[in-house]
Amino acid sequence: MVVAGVIGTKKLIYDLWGDAVNVASRMASSGEPGRIQVTTSTYERLRDTYRLKPRGTIQVKGRGHMDTYWLRGRRDQPEPKTTPAPGLSDNQDSGGNPDTMAQPSETGGT
């Protein structure tokens, strides 16, 4: 559930609260530049229309371990050529291969 509201009496600010907002923020902050990371529930909704690749399990603050996926594009469009993420060589997989994926403790994540 997401709750929205206006805060303030002189300078009004519109804001959103809720678990979905927190998880979306964590997906964005624990992702990689130029890539879209989604949760299992989002994967379930998108998998028939979009190409998704398992990233693996990540530690998400306030939620514990979560399985996540990379959104790769629409199924009806060709998959773009990819280049390695910054800091990875051409033979490393940044897309969720557990054998090559950095663990949170190795990246300084929480």
Range of the domain at 53: 23-81
Global pTM reads 0.60
Asked if residues 70 and 95 have their Cβ atoms less than 8 Å apart, the reply is yes
Given pLDDT bands bounded at 50, 70 and 90, which one contains residue 96? Answer: very low
Q: 9 lies in a domain?
A: no
Given the residues 61, 63, 74, 75, select the one marked as catalytic: 61
pLDDT digits (tens, 9 = 90+) for 35-88: 999 999 999 999 999 999 999 999 988 888 999 999 999 999 887 776 656 655
Matching residue, tokens 């923020």: 25
User: Is there a contact between 18 and 3 (Cβ–Cβ < 8 Å)?
Assistant: yes
Mean pLDDT, rounded, of the chain: 78
Segment (H or E) for 56: strand 50-60
Q: Is residue 52 part of a domain?
A: yes
- Judge whether 53 counts as a catalytic residue: no
Residue 26 falls in the annotated catalytic set? yes
With 50 as the cut, is the pLDDT of residue 107 above it? Answer: no
The answer as to whether 43 is a domain residue is yes
In sequence order, the 6+-apart residues with CB closer than 8 A to the CB of 86 are 33
- How many domains are contained in the chain? 1
